[in-house]
Amino acid sequence: QVQLVESGGGSVQAGGSLRLSCAASEYTYSSYCMGWFRQAPGKEREGVAVIYTGDPTTYYVDSVKGRFTISQNYAKHTLSLQMNSLKPEDTAMYYCAAAARTYTCPWPTFVHENYYWGQGTQVTVSS
């Protein structure tokens, strides 16, 4: 069983920071990758950042590169997303995800059905 629980969302002013956390079951560490995705109302879900388990390789969508940092804490079984210099366009529901089965997370390809998902945490950035 895979369990993912996000926290850390909230409302901030543009230019502010938030740190999202995802509490993951130990099983997720058998996943090839874990990542953060986001979805704004009326928009399609998009990949924000991904990190490969046991590998230092990370990828970011261009719009957040240089502002967001994804990381894993293996001891605490958590996935984090540090978000700095937030912009109104970052407003969305943010989801933690872990790859299912043998999916190898070929960034930037995104297949919803190949991931396990958390329930999401809302991030709202005002101008």
Are the C-beta atoms of residues 87 and 64 closer than 8 Å to each other? Answer: no
- What pLDDT was estimated at residue 73? 87
Mean of per-residue pLDDT scores for the chain: 93
Query: Which one, of 123, 3, 107, 112, lies nearest residue 65 by Cα?
Result: 107
Give SS3 for 114.
helix
Query: Which one, of 126, 103, 124, lies nearest residue 30 by Cα?
Result: 103
Kindly report whether the peptide bond that precedes residue 108 is cis, defined as omega within 30 degrees of 0. yes
Q: How does residue 53 score in pLDDT terms, banded at 50, 70 and 90? A: confident
